[in-house]
Structure 1
Amino acid sequence: MHAADSYDYSVIRIVPRVERGEFVNAGVIVSCESRQFLQARVEVDERRLRALDPTIDIETVRRHLQAIVRICEGAPDAGPIARLPRRGRFHWLTATRSSIIQTSPVHMGRCSDPAMSIERLFDRMVRV
């Protein structure tokens, strides 16, 4: 069994009306440098988002969340941010911003399998 590695994670939040500060967790980003791992997992809970803002453009939200996933993957068609090193992509994605899609402060943990950790975090932080 591999020794535990440290990882960083951030929760992706949808803030339909930024001025109100209410949000719905919609995903997690996990970075584990020692395993060369950077991945985002996202899911849109349309019912919960519409409860906060009935006029929210769900398709735009989905498109921007998918862009986060593609940037983490380093997809060639995901723009210049996707070409940064893994750690640079993580820092760019988790930078503080005042927009409809935000991330929580960065937290750290230890794991022996970052893929299992992202699933566990996703279940705990995103799924109701």
Structure 2
Amino acid sequence: MPSSFDYAIVRVVPRVERGEFINAGVIVFCLEHKFLGARVKIDEVRLKALWPQIQLDLVRRHLEAIPRVAAGDIAAGPIARLSLRERFHWLVSPRSTIIQVSPVHTGLCEERPEGVLDELSKRMLD
């Protein structure tokens, strides 16, 4: 029986006023399988092309926090202690900062949600 899942793409928007962005991560949530996972990947060359003055270390730190919050890593702070659903909604909430997320999309998976995360990561981040 297929399971429904929700996902969003994490984007880096170096200069918010220009609206240009680079996909930098994927967040997948499947309540039925009690799964919340995220992957991030930074294309530093493309980011520098959009904004040569971008602070890559700062962007990297913020992006690397996303999978830790998704995994419920206590070191990620109080948000990581929330329930799966609450963490997902916090991760995908709209922002007007340099790190943004796409609208949430829905799908069905026949396999385990980790496979969906793998597939979406390859399709959206490579």
- State the TM bucket, normalised to the shorter chain: over 0.9
**Matching of residues 39-78 of structure 1 within 5 Å:** 39-78=37-76
Give, in whole Å, the separation in 1 of the partners of 2:60 and 2:105: 24
**Structure 1 runs of 4+ with >4 Å offset:** none
Give, in whole Å, the separation in 2 of the partners of 1:34 and 1:79: 25
Instruction: Count residues in correspondence.
Output: 125
The answer to whether structure 1 residue 15 and structure 2 residue 13 are counterparts is yes
TM-score by length of 1: 0.96
Task: Report the equivalent of 1:126.
Answer: 125
Give, in whole Å, the separation in 1 of the partners of 2:4 and 2:73: 25
Give, in whole Å, the separation in 2 of the partners of 1:101 and 1:73: 19
Give, in whole Å, the separation in 2 of the partners of 1:29 and 1:89: 11
Give SS of 1:8's match.
Answer: strand
Give SS of 1:34's match.
Answer: coil
RMSD: 0.6
Task: Report the equivalent of 2:79.
Answer: 81
Give SS of 2:32's match.
Answer: helix
Counterpart amino acid of residue 48 in structure 1: R
Structure 1, unpaired ranges of 5+: none
